[in-house]
A and B are shown apart, each in its own frame.
Chain A
Amino acid sequence: DADVTQTPRNRITKTGKRIMLECSQTKGHDRMYWYRQDPGLGLRLIYYSFDVKDINKGEISDGYSVSRQAQAKFSLSLESAIPNQTALYFCATSEDGNSPLHFGNGTRLTVT
Protein backbone atom coordinates (compact mmCIF):
# COMPACT_ATOMS: atom_id res chain seq x y z
CA ASP A 1 0.00 0.00 0.00
CA ALA A 2 1.14 3.52 -0.77
CA ASP A 3 2.32 5.57 2.22
CA VAL A 4 0.69 8.73 0.84
CA THR A 5 -2.64 8.12 -0.88
CA GLN A 6 -4.56 10.63 -2.94
CA THR A 7 -8.15 10.32 -4.11
CA PRO A 8 -9.44 10.57 -6.73
CA ARG A 9 -6.65 9.83 -9.24
CA ASN A 10 -8.49 11.61 -12.01
CA ARG A 11 -11.36 14.09 -11.95
CA ILE A 12 -13.17 16.05 -14.60
CA THR A 13 -15.45 18.82 -13.40
CA LYS A 14 -17.23 21.85 -14.77
CA THR A 15 -16.51 25.53 -14.16
CA GLY A 16 -18.13 26.77 -10.96
CA LYS A 17 -18.37 23.40 -9.22
CA ARG A 18 -16.95 22.80 -5.76
CA ILE A 19 -14.61 19.84 -5.51
CA MET A 20 -12.43 18.26 -2.86
CA LEU A 21 -9.20 16.35 -3.29
CA GLU A 22 -8.23 14.09 -0.44
CA CYS A 23 -4.90 12.94 0.94
CA SER A 24 -4.16 10.43 3.66
CA GLN A 25 -0.82 9.12 4.93
CA THR A 26 0.42 6.24 7.03
CA LYS A 27 3.94 7.59 7.52
CA GLY A 28 3.14 9.29 10.82
CA HIS A 29 4.52 12.61 9.55
CA ASP A 30 3.29 15.87 11.02
CA ARG A 31 4.06 18.00 7.96
CA MET A 32 1.74 17.85 4.95
CA TYR A 33 1.71 19.89 1.75
CA TRP A 34 -0.37 20.46 -1.37
CA TYR A 35 1.39 21.29 -4.67
CA ARG A 36 0.18 21.74 -8.20
CA GLN A 37 2.27 20.93 -11.27
CA ASP A 38 1.84 22.61 -14.63
CA PRO A 39 3.95 22.02 -17.76
CA GLY A 40 6.77 24.55 -17.90
CA LEU A 41 6.06 25.88 -14.40
CA GLY A 42 7.17 23.08 -12.15
CA LEU A 43 5.74 22.30 -8.74
CA ARG A 44 4.20 25.23 -6.84
CA LEU A 45 3.11 25.19 -3.21
CA ILE A 46 -0.57 25.85 -2.49
CA TYR A 47 -0.88 25.23 1.26
CA TYR A 48 1.00 23.44 4.01
CA SER A 49 0.27 22.29 7.53
CA PHE A 50 2.51 21.21 10.38
CA ASP A 51 -0.21 19.87 12.68
CA VAL A 52 -3.98 19.71 13.00
CA LYS A 53 -4.33 23.32 14.17
CA ASP A 54 -1.73 24.75 11.78
CA ILE A 55 -2.55 25.94 8.24
CA ASN A 56 -0.25 28.11 6.12
CA LYS A 57 -0.62 29.65 2.68
CA GLY A 58 1.90 28.86 -0.03
CA GLU A 59 2.79 30.72 -3.21
CA ILE A 60 -0.55 30.23 -4.98
CA SER A 61 -3.33 29.80 -2.40
CA ASP A 62 -5.95 32.02 -4.07
CA GLY A 63 -8.98 29.99 -5.13
CA TYR A 64 -8.11 27.09 -2.82
CA SER A 65 -8.79 26.13 0.78
CA VAL A 66 -7.59 23.23 2.92
CA SER A 67 -8.63 21.27 5.96
CA ARG A 68 -6.39 19.21 8.24
CA GLN A 69 -8.92 16.81 9.74
CA ALA A 70 -6.36 14.66 11.55
CA GLN A 71 -2.62 14.13 11.57
CA ALA A 72 -3.05 11.65 8.73
CA LYS A 73 -5.53 13.58 6.56
CA PHE A 74 -5.18 16.82 4.59
CA SER A 75 -7.78 17.79 2.00
CA LEU A 76 -7.72 20.48 -0.67
CA SER A 77 -10.90 22.21 -1.86
CA LEU A 78 -11.64 24.31 -4.89
CA GLU A 79 -14.68 26.38 -3.91
CA SER A 80 -15.60 27.34 -7.47
CA ALA A 81 -13.42 25.59 -10.03
CA ILE A 82 -12.12 27.49 -13.04
CA PRO A 83 -10.35 26.16 -16.17
CA ASN A 84 -6.91 27.52 -15.20
CA GLN A 85 -7.02 25.22 -12.17
CA THR A 86 -6.61 22.31 -14.57
CA ALA A 87 -3.37 20.72 -13.38
CA LEU A 88 -1.75 17.73 -11.71
CA TYR A 89 -2.07 18.03 -7.92
CA PHE A 90 0.30 16.37 -5.47
CA CYS A 91 0.04 15.88 -1.75
CA ALA A 92 3.34 15.42 0.10
CA THR A 93 4.54 14.77 3.64
CA SER A 94 7.80 15.26 5.47
CA GLU A 95 9.01 14.14 8.87
CA ASP A 96 10.62 17.42 9.91
CA GLY A 97 12.47 20.48 8.63
CA ASN A 98 15.54 18.43 7.73
CA SER A 99 13.79 15.69 5.76
CA PRO A 100 12.77 15.34 2.10
CA LEU A 101 9.22 15.36 0.79
CA HIS A 102 7.33 12.12 0.13
CA PHE A 103 4.73 12.52 -2.59
CA GLY A 104 1.41 10.84 -3.27
CA ASN A 105 0.61 9.56 -6.76
CA GLY A 106 -1.18 12.70 -7.78
CA THR A 107 -4.67 13.76 -8.86
CA ARG A 108 -5.14 14.87 -12.44
CA LEU A 109 -7.87 17.53 -12.41
CA THR A 110 -9.53 18.89 -15.53
CA VAL A 111 -11.93 21.83 -15.31
CA THR A 112 -14.05 22.33 -18.43
Chain B
Amino acid sequence: GQNIDQPTEMTATEGAIVQINCTYQTSGFNGLFWYQQHAGEAPTFLSYNVLDGLEEKGRFSSFLSRSKGYSYLLLKELQMKDSASYLCAVRDYTGNQFYFGTGTSLTVIP
Protein backbone atom coordinates (compact mmCIF):
# COMPACT_ATOMS: atom_id res chain seq x y z
CA GLY B 1 0.00 0.00 0.00
CA GLN B 2 0.86 3.65 -0.08
CA ASN B 3 1.02 6.02 2.89
CA ILE B 4 2.22 9.58 2.34
CA ASP B 5 2.13 12.11 5.20
CA GLN B 6 2.52 15.88 5.17
CA PRO B 7 1.51 18.54 7.69
CA THR B 8 -1.90 19.97 6.91
CA GLU B 9 -1.12 23.65 7.40
CA MET B 10 1.88 25.92 7.93
CA THR B 11 2.31 29.66 8.35
CA ALA B 12 5.51 31.60 7.68
CA THR B 13 6.60 35.21 7.35
CA GLU B 14 7.46 36.99 4.14
CA GLY B 15 11.22 36.89 3.53
CA ALA B 16 11.76 33.87 5.79
CA ILE B 17 12.62 30.24 5.03
CA VAL B 18 10.14 27.40 5.44
CA GLN B 19 10.62 23.64 5.29
CA ILE B 20 7.71 21.37 4.36
CA ASN B 21 8.24 17.72 5.28
CA CYS B 22 6.91 14.59 3.62
CA THR B 23 7.26 11.04 4.87
CA TYR B 24 6.25 8.03 2.85
CA GLN B 25 5.80 4.29 3.17
CA THR B 26 5.20 2.70 -0.20
CA SER B 27 5.40 -0.78 -1.66
CA GLY B 28 7.78 0.50 -4.32
CA PHE B 29 9.58 3.74 -5.11
CA ASN B 30 10.74 5.38 -8.31
CA GLY B 31 10.99 9.06 -7.50
CA LEU B 32 9.43 11.77 -5.35
CA PHE B 33 7.84 14.91 -6.80
CA TRP B 34 6.75 18.23 -5.34
CA TYR B 35 3.92 20.27 -6.85
CA GLN B 36 2.53 23.71 -6.04
CA GLN B 37 -1.20 24.32 -6.25
CA HIS B 38 -2.86 27.71 -5.84
CA ALA B 39 -6.49 27.65 -4.74
CA GLY B 40 -8.79 26.58 -7.58
CA GLU B 41 -5.91 26.04 -9.99
CA ALA B 42 -3.99 23.10 -11.43
CA PRO B 43 -0.96 21.66 -9.63
CA THR B 44 2.31 22.72 -11.24
CA PHE B 45 5.56 20.77 -11.06
CA LEU B 46 8.27 22.16 -8.78
CA SER B 47 10.93 19.57 -8.11
CA TYR B 48 11.89 15.92 -8.44
CA ASN B 49 14.26 13.60 -6.54
CA VAL B 50 15.07 10.00 -7.36
CA LEU B 51 18.47 9.76 -5.65
CA ASP B 52 19.37 10.79 -2.10
CA GLY B 53 20.43 14.36 -1.62
CA LEU B 54 19.49 17.92 -2.35
CA GLU B 55 18.17 19.35 -5.62
CA GLU B 56 18.20 23.14 -5.89
CA LYS B 57 16.13 25.27 -8.25
CA GLY B 58 16.32 28.96 -7.48
CA ARG B 59 14.40 29.71 -4.27
CA PHE B 60 13.18 26.12 -4.06
CA SER B 61 15.16 23.08 -2.95
CA SER B 62 14.08 19.50 -2.32
CA PHE B 63 15.83 16.82 -0.31
CA LEU B 64 15.37 13.05 -0.31
CA SER B 65 16.47 10.24 1.99
CA ARG B 66 15.26 6.94 0.59
CA SER B 67 16.44 4.91 3.59
CA LYS B 68 14.31 7.08 5.90
CA GLY B 69 11.35 7.48 3.54
CA TYR B 70 11.65 11.22 3.97
CA SER B 71 11.70 14.31 1.83
CA TYR B 72 11.42 18.03 2.40
CA LEU B 73 10.77 21.08 0.27
CA LEU B 74 12.64 24.21 1.30
CA LEU B 75 11.37 27.61 0.21
CA LYS B 76 13.69 30.57 0.71
CA GLU B 77 13.02 34.32 0.64
CA LEU B 78 9.31 33.71 0.95
CA GLN B 79 6.98 35.89 -1.08
CA MET B 80 3.25 36.45 -0.65
CA LYS B 81 2.63 34.61 -3.93
CA ASP B 82 4.11 31.45 -2.35
CA SER B 83 0.87 31.07 -0.36
CA ALA B 84 -0.46 27.82 -1.85
CA SER B 85 -0.79 24.11 -1.21
CA TYR B 86 2.32 21.99 -1.68
CA LEU B 87 1.76 18.40 -2.75
CA CYS B 88 4.21 15.56 -2.23
CA ALA B 89 3.84 12.64 -4.68
CA VAL B 90 5.62 9.31 -4.93
CA ARG B 91 5.93 7.44 -8.22
CA ASP B 92 5.67 3.67 -7.95
CA TYR B 93 8.43 1.29 -8.98
CA THR B 94 6.84 0.67 -12.40
CA GLY B 95 6.89 4.39 -13.16
CA ASN B 96 3.24 4.11 -14.13
CA GLN B 97 1.40 5.62 -11.16
CA PHE B 98 1.79 8.58 -8.83
CA TYR B 99 0.47 8.61 -5.26
CA PHE B 100 -0.20 11.97 -3.66
CA GLY B 101 -0.17 13.21 -0.09
CA THR B 102 -3.06 15.37 1.04
CA GLY B 103 -1.01 18.54 0.65
CA THR B 104 0.32 21.24 2.97
CA SER B 105 -1.45 24.59 2.88
CA LEU B 106 1.16 27.32 3.33
CA THR B 107 0.13 30.84 4.31
CA VAL B 108 2.72 33.58 3.98
CA ILE B 109 2.06 36.58 6.23
CA PRO B 110 3.58 40.07 6.01
Contact = CB atoms under 8 A, between A and B. Distances in A.
A80 B100 CA distance: 27
A22 B64 CA distance: 36
A100 B95 CA distance: 10
Contacts of B70: none
16 contacts: A40-B102, A43-B43, A43-B87, A43-B89, A44-B100, A45-B99, A48-B97, A50-B96, A96-B95, A100-B33, A100-B35, A101-B33, A101-B89, A101-B98, A102-B45, A103-B42
Given A48-B97, A100-B48, A101-B98, 4 more contacts: A41-B102, A42-B103, A45-B97, A97-B94
Interface of B: 30-31, 33, 35, 40-45, 48, 87, 89, 91, 94-103
Nearest to B4: A42
Contacts of A98: 31, 95
A106 B96 contact: no
By DSSP majority rule, is chain B's interface helix, strand, loop, or mixed?
loop
Nearest to A56: B96
**Chain A: interface size category:** 20 to 34
Contacts of A90: 42-43
Contacts of A102: 45
Nearest to A45: B97
B45 A100 contact: yes
A105 interface: yes
Contacts of B97: 45, 48, 58
Contacts of B40: 106
A58 to B, nearest CB: 7
A56 B94 CA distance: 13
